[in-house]
Amino acid sequence: MAFDEKTGAFKVVGTRPDRPDGVDKVTGRARFGADASAPGMLHAVIIRSPHAHARIVKIDTSKAEAAKGVKAVVTRVDFAAGLKGEPWNILENVIAGDTALYDGHAVCALAATSLLAAKDAAKLVEVTYEVLPHVTDVDAAMQDGAPVIREGAADSSVPAGMHPNVVRYHESGHGDPDEGFAEADLVIEDHFVTEATHQGYIEPHACLATLGGDGRGELWCCTQGHWNVQKVCAALLGIETSKLRVAASEIGGGFGGKTAVFIEPVALALSRKANRPVKLVMPRADVFRATGPTASTSMDVRIGMKKDGTITAASGVFRCQGGAFPGAPMEFTAMCAFAPYNLKHVRQVGYDVMTNRPKQAAYRAPGSPMAAFAVESVIDELCNRLELDPIEVRLKNASREGTKASFGPKWDRIGLVETLEAAKAHPHYAAPLAPGAGRGVSCGFWFNHGGETAVQLALSEDGTVQLSVGTPDIGGSRASMCMMAAEELGIPYEDVRTTIADTATLGYNEISHGSRVTYASGLATIEAARDTIRKLCRRSADKWGIDPEAVEWRDGAAYPAGPNAGDHDPLPIREIARRMGRTGGPIVGHYEATPEGAGVSFATHIVDAEVDRETGATKVTRYTVVQDAGKAIHPTYVEGQYQGGAAQGIGWALNEEYIYGADGRLQNAGFLDYRIPVASDLPMIDTVIVEVPNPGHPYGVRGVGETSICPPLAAIANAVSNAAGVRMRQLPMRPSRILEALEGQGS
Amino acid sequence: MIHVNTTVNGDPAEFLCEPRETLLDALRDRLDLTGAKEGCGTGDCGACTVTLDGRPVCSCLVLAAEADGREVGTVEGIARGEALHPLQRKFIEHAALQCGICTPGILVAAKALLEKTPDPSETEVRYWLAGNLCRCTGYDKIIRAVMDAAAEMRENA
């Protein structure tokens, strides 16, 4: 797809206006998932398995149904039968069939006239379980004799002889790694482990559902993608997609975790049964137990290097545990692992492994941060032993335009080298280190995504415009949409209002994921504005009695394109809008497509960390993010994405982990024991926005949301390892693990 | 049911509640003040922060009945008419929010800080807000917004 690139100076893009929903969000007016209510509304509670793996022998709901205020109870029989493929997997996760597959797996739900009545009644539901053997560790789940989560779950990619819990397999690369390793002066191979972490959005999943016996329904929910919710819920309830209208609330964080469907079909089923609106809000413990953590991993990486820093070969095996369903992002882990490097010999293998844990969900660049942790740790160790500068080594081996990617294609215009050069030139990299502190560097890569997109831009009679997009605003995207529309139309930023439309208003919009919103909805907004401009020019041409081609649009007005077009006063958008009812009717521009030119994004992070050798506690003292944004539409919100990704990475590297007991139960299902970074844990996070334009977007935009979490795990691990003088191979690097490593070093 | 007479954002308010009902639920469900959010229900995240007689509390850990005869302050009471509080303006200006779910609690907590400590150090702001989780921003822009609002308030004091 070719686009007219904007070559002139930007007037709005690149400035830093206030976000249009700012006042709503600082006054408490913004309505999030749990903030909606309806007349006659019921409150719902979900009853969940306390066992990691158990056959459901019997669910006796008679006492609960008889309790005061209870209006509906649902189990698996209240959902569609005969589903196959992914809809079946989703239903099986939303509400268990014959078997509870993890601690927290939903088995039953009820709705009552108050939340307290629903909670009381939930205690009266009697579920009889036959407990089965379980496995929660990725390596253990692959061993002979490990309990089988589900027979027949593997697809045809899995080599013969693997355990049935290995359900998908990936292999890619080129050249002959053995030949490459033979050319190396030093080869390092190491084993790395990362634990599952949660996206940790502060807003629990919440929805308000209304569904009648006629199959017509309305759903309000916090989600990253309401068209997907509509499609999935319709399938799981056995109704036609268009009969269900879904509106997205403001969303209190998602980071990938709200791309999946968990509670909405349950609320709809309860509403259908009770014939009343049903509100369902997940308690925080359920969010941890039953919604998308990321995959945990076990990885082996081997890299060969010459004394001058040239990487001669690289190979890696990446085992990703994704809970009780197929889908761990092991192919992304494998494909991202060596993406920053131009390698003659490279091979990567991935395994998708099932365990008795919740179904993993996407978490910001799913799979990539773990791969970077393993690969960039080995590169750091090679640099240390060969006494080479870590940025120089990365520059020497960096992927560039035209080189062959580790996973196959040739790179288009990419900005990795520019991020490395900017990091090298940054004062942080030259700053002296305090005694006992360590510095770490890492690169990171994410693909970015386009996806199905539809937008509409309607002109109001006063010349302002109403832009409708279908991608929930998860971090300020309304502002960048308003900016791109204003830029293209040549009108003030304040004259554009952006609304997140519901599923009845626009064509299908893919989820807000893959760092796609500013890229794809932005591209569609620009094209819808251009469509509007064509219509504005035609109205002007009609008025002037000339060809539309003889009209040009600039600075928010139509002008005769040249002397041959005649002598006409310019027609500002306000003038055309005021008369549009009499000149042909409403003026609306629109654009629908699946843009495929999402430019990939690279980043380089620099971290300083101190390690307390007595307590094992780590403190990140300085952090710098350098990342290619292609073109930053609203630089402040781009910085915010960089800082947010870095902070989540700090949590993943140092504190956060899912801890399962021998009984297979999650032991830290709350923010007290699952500790995400708090304000006093972090330093200011410095950012450098590099702009290497993406040829696939009219303004050069690349997605920025996800790449920022790719380098931190490795950069922090390298800083901590260099501070402690011992290589840290397992995340999180909690104090006990650091003390163990220090003791091991002493002996 | 318990009959509670209280003051919310300076106005008299009354409601009936169950003895075990939290102040957060009463504010949200009985008084339709949905600005305070429930992020955890266990006092770990701070999204439900309100003031009780001027002191910030997690309203999910306070019983609704405890509000009887006391003064409750929520995010809805921070602006004066259409004039935003300096903290609210600075949060927008610095992009100190991305999703905005933690913002009401952080604003209430930060306002209480600045009333007590008009010239806080960065460290003081970071420790004061350590009970308010934000997953989007990495806190950088939040800390800057609070410091900047404090500076402006000192100038205009």
SS (H, E, C) A344-385: CCEEEEEEEECCCCCCCCCCCCCCHHHHHHHHHHHHHHHHHH
Q: How far is CA A215 from CA A220, A252, A527, in A?
A: 16, 29, 36
Euclidean distance between CA atoms A246 and A239, whole angstroms: 14
- With a cut of 90, say whether residue A580 has pLDDT above it: yes
pLDDT, residue A213, reads 86
Span A48-80, pLDDT tens digits = 999 999 999 999 999 999 999 999 999 999 999
- The predicted pLDDT at position A412 comes to 96
Where do the DSSP E strands lie in A594-732? 601-611, 618-628, 685-690
| Helix (H) or strand (E) run with residue A118 in it | helix A115-122
First to last CA, chain B: 45
Whether residue B133 and residue A202 make contact (CB cut-off 8 A), yes or no, is yes
Burial class (CB in 10 A: 0-12, 13-18, 19+), A562: exposed
Q: Quick count: other Cβ atoms within 10 Å of Cβ B24?
A: 24
Distance CA A416, CA A395 (A): 9
Contact flag A253-B140 (C-beta cutoff 8 Å): no
B18: distance to nearest CA of chain A, Å?
9
Partner A contacted by B138 (CB < 8 A): yes
CA-nearest residue of chain A to B74? Answer: A28
Question: pLDDT tens digit string along A654-671?
Answer: 999 999 999 999 999 999
Interface test with A, best of B135, B137, B148 (most A CBs within 10 A): B135
Q: What is the mean pLDDT of residues A361-378?
A: 98
| Phi, psi torsion values for B143, nearest 5 degrees | -60, -45
Does the pLDDT at position A707 exceed 80? yes
DSSP tag of A550: G
pLDDT per residue over B14-49, tens digit each?
999 999 999 999 999 999 999 999 999 999 999 999
Q: What pLDDT, on a 0 to 100 scale, did the predictor assign at position A747? A: 46
Q: Name the H helices within A623-733.
A: 635-654, 712-724
Phi-psi region of A471 (alpha: psi -120 to 50; beta: other; left: phi over 0): beta
Query: Residue A7's pLDDT is what?
Result: 56
Instruction: Name the pLDDT band for A745 (thresholds 50, 70, 90).
Output: confident
- Residue-wise pLDDT tens digits, B74-124: 999 999 999 999 999 999 999 999 999 999 999 999 999 999 999 999 999
Instruction: Please report which confidence band the pLDDT of residue A563 belongs to, taking 50, 70 and 90 as the band edges.
Output: confident
> Is 90 exceeded by the pLDDT of residue A2?
no
Span A485-514, mean pLDDT? 98
pLDDT at A8 over 70: no
Least CA distance to B103: which residue of chain A? Answer: A26
Length of chain B: 157
Share of chain A above pLDDT 70, in %: 99
Q: How confident is the model at residue A629 (pLDDT cuts 50, 70, 90)?
A: very high
Task: Reply yes or no on whether the pLDDT at A6 is more than 90.
Answer: no
- Pull the structure tokens for residue A436: 């006992």
Nearest to A202 among B33, B47, B142 (CB): B47
How confident is the model over A416-427, as pLDDT tens digits? 999 999 999 999
**Total residues belonging to chain A:** 747
User: Residue A274 corresponds to which tokens in the numbers above?
Assistant: 């009770």
Residue B157: pLDDT band with limits 50, 70, 90: confident
The answer for residues whose C-beta is within 8 angstroms of residue B121's C-beta and 6 or more apart is none
- Nearest Cβ partner of A25 from B100, B123, B131? B100
Please judge whether A636 and B94 are an interchain contact, meaning their C-beta atoms are less than 8 angstroms apart. yes
Q: How far apart are CA A225 and CA B28, in angstroms?
A: 26
Can you tell me the ipTM of this complex? 0.99
CB contact under 8 A, A670 and B44: yes
Which chain B residue shows the shortest CA-CA distance from A640?
B137
| Residue range A19-37, pLDDT digits in tens | 999 999 999 999 999 999 9
